[in-house]
Amino acid sequence: MKSYILRPHYLAKISPFINQPLIKVIVGQRRVGKSYLLLQLIDHIRQQYPDANIIYINKELYEFDSIKDYHDLIRYISVKTQADNPNYVFIDEIQDIREFEKAIRSLQSDGNYDIYITGSNANLLSGELATLLSGRYIEFTVYSLSYPEFLKFHKYDNTNDTLMKYIKFGGLPYLIHLELTEDIIYDYLQSIYNSILLKDIVARYQVRNVNFLENLVRFLADNIGNLTTAKRISDFLKNQKINMSPNIILNYLSNLISSNIILKASRLNIEGRKIFEISEKYYFEDLGLRHTLVGYRQSAINQVYENLVYNHLIVNGYKVYIGQLSNREIDFVAEKGNDRLYVQTTYLIPNKQVWEREFGNLLTIKDNFPKFVVSNDESAGGSEKGIEHLHIRDFLTRTW
């Protein structure tokens, strides 16, 4: 087994379900560390249950190349099964096994296996497993490194210079093995992006217009933090002499979201608790991949900060919306169970006009849930009329 750096945030989420009769499904974008999380789980189970029989399959390794369909999978696991010990099955990149769902359903019904599987495509697992397993599984999404994890993996102190490295290069775990320079990192990230596009989207969904798909991703990269509709994208393309219907654009957007490279935030009417059906915002799961496509530009720093804050809330288990209150927009309404918080984010607050926009929007909300303005101002700290003003580095290192 390979060595790894612990990611206790995810282990804490999954541990309560060990030995529960639910299939543990671990999804996420390529190269965010799902395979290493499986290894962490294996070691944790071995420590807790010394007689555990671990059955491990990694479809990215040649030694498991003979497992091509669900028949092969069942045969392999049957041979490795021990009748007198608890059996734990770990399958990495399970989507590469044809009709794997049939084998998983059979093994889960058998009752002698605690099953953990990973895949790169969220819809691949969610849709098909939901149909065949009808609620007998639980899904966990793994994201690229949060800012605190980035500090831990790279052994950095929490400084503005370190934050800039995180912003420019993103949080894919493998970066710890590379020199953090633009030429090296962006070459690596380009190869990851190509894999996501070709393997998780083009091949999976049999996308024919690859050129349009690439242009769509670049459009989203240029428009993070902007309200976007399929019609707006269609109209933009018409100006570029490209005709593409809104319905086709929606399908392509769905494919990008299913690969986890793009994350979607819907709009929420704060007063009526109604979710708007059109006009969402899109963010990148990893900013390094975004910059690989359109470059890092200081002129887009407000959008980048918005992406950072959105990602941090998602990693911490919040469902995140874009808030709408009368004619005002609240950057983020984040909900987890009965908890809720509101966040406005901007790079700097240089004058009264920006202050009134960021703090004023939150002051119109009359409930007592926590409210925050997040910026890079060195003077950030304290509160204003009950609204806490946080420096971006303090926000990103806070556990919510």
Is the confidence at residue 126, as pLDDT, over 60? no
Q: DSSP H helical segments within the chain, as ranges? A: 8-14, 34-48, 70-80, 100-110, 122-133, 147-154, 160-169, 182-195, 203-205, 210-222, 230-239, 246-258, 287-294, 301-315, 352-363, 392-396
Residue span(s) of the chain under CATH 3.40.50.300 come to: 8-141
Give per-residue pLDDT as tens, 95-116: 889 989 889 989 999 999 999 9
pLDDT digits 0-9 by tens, 268-288: 999 877 888 778 999 999 999
3-state secondary structure of 177: helix
Please check the confidence at residue 240 and state whether its pLDDT lies above 80: no
Least-confidence region, from 7-11, 169-173, 207-211, 262-266 = 207-211
CATH architecture of 8-141: 3-Layer(aba) Sandwich (3.40)
- The answer to whether residue 304 scores a pLDDT higher than 60 is yes
